[in-house]
Structure 1
Amino acid sequence: MVDPVMLLAFVPAGLALNLTPGADMAFCLGQGLRSGPRAAIAASGGIALGAFVHTLLAGLGLGALVATVPLAFEVIRWVGVAYLVWLAVQTLRHRAVTDAPPVSAARAFRTGLFVNLTNPKVILFVLAFVPQFVVPQAGSVLGQFLIFGAMLSLGGFVINGLVGVFASGLGQRLARGSRVLDWITATVFVGLAARLAILERA
C-alpha cells in the first residue's frame, strides 16, 4: 500500500515531469504530424508501456545493472541511437521510392515502445525519482514502485497523446504526402538520436 502522504506529494511532482518537454513528447509530436492522431496516441501508448517496464525493472533491482555497469548502459544507448537514425533514413527513403502511407497505429505503438526501452536514462531516472516516495514500512516496495510507475505512465500517455493529436491537426493542414512532413519527422528522429548519443550516465 502506498503511503497517502507520499501519494499526495507524488501526484503534482509526476504531473510536472509529464508536462516537461522531452524526447517522449517530441516523438509523439512527430508521429502526430506525419501519421495523424491514431498513430500519435498509439506511440504514446508504446512509450507509456516502456516507462512502466522500466519502473518494473527498477523495482526488481535490475536497474542497478545499468547504473553500475558502463557496458550495459552503452549497449542499450547505442542500439537506441542506431534505431532512431534508421527510422529517419527510412522515412525519407520510402517517400523517395513511393508515396508511402502514414505509419499504422500498431507500428507507431511498437516504435514508441522500442524507443523508450532503448533509452537507459529512463530507468536511471526512475531509480533516482521514485524511491523518494517509497516508504518500506507501508508495504511491498515493488508494489509501491509499480503504483507510482503506473501513475507516471498514465500521465505521460495522456499528455504526450494530446500533444501528438494537436500536432496532427497541423499535419493535416499541410499537403498530404508533402516532403515537408517527411523532413520534419526525420529531423525529430535524428534530434532524438543525437540527444541519446550525447547522454552521460549521471
Structure 2
Amino acid sequence: MESESVVTQQLRRAFASTRTVLAEVRPSQLDAATPCVSWDVRALINHFVGSGRWGAAMVLGTESADKDYAAGDLLASYDDSRRVALAAFGSAGVLEKTIELPFGRFSGTDLMNMVTRDQFTHGWDLARAIGQPTDLDSDLATELLAQAHLDILDTDRGPEGRAIFGPATKPSPPASPADQLAAFLGRTC
C-alpha cells in the first residue's frame, strides 16, 4: 500500500487542493462564469467530478455514468470520485497498461498524469470563478508545469471546444506557480 500511496501522490494532492476550493462554493455561485468559456461553475464541477470517475473507468475498462454531481452534496460527490480514482490508479498493474482513448493511446501513468493536471487546473478555474485565491499548492503546481512543458505539444492547442488546450498566455506578474500553469494551459491570468 505504501508504494501505491507514493505512485498516486500527485493525484492525491491535486484532489486535496481542488477539494479545498470546492468547499467554498455556494449554491448562488453555480451559474457564475469560469475561465473555461463554455462552462459555468455547475458545468465545471460536473466535469472535474466526472473526470476522476472517467479516468478510473478508462484504466479499469468499466463504464462511467454521466450524472449531475453539482445537484447534491458537492463534497460528498467529489470525495466519492476521488476515492474511486485513487483506488483505480493505485491498483496493481494499472499504470503499465496501454489504454485506448478517443484521442490516442496512453499508458496508465500518462492517463493518471492527465487526470492529475485536469483536477488541479480545474481547481484553479473554480477558485478564479468564485473569487478565491488561485495560489494553490505551489510545489504541486511547479511539478505539473514542468510535466506540462514536456507533455503538451503545439498540436494539442487551439480554440476552446476544438482542442484540448488553448494557446499559452503570459500571466500577469507576480504570478504564482498555479497561475503560471493555468497560463501555460491557455487561461488568461
Q: TM-score, normalised by structure 1?
A: 0.28
Which structure has the highest helix share of the two?
1
In terms of fraction of residues, the more strand-rich structure is 2
- Which one has more relative contact order, counting CA pairs under 8 Å at least 6 apart? 1
Instruction: Please identify the structure whose Cα radius of gyration is greater.
Output: 1
If the length of structure 2 is used for normalisation, what is the TM-score? 0.29
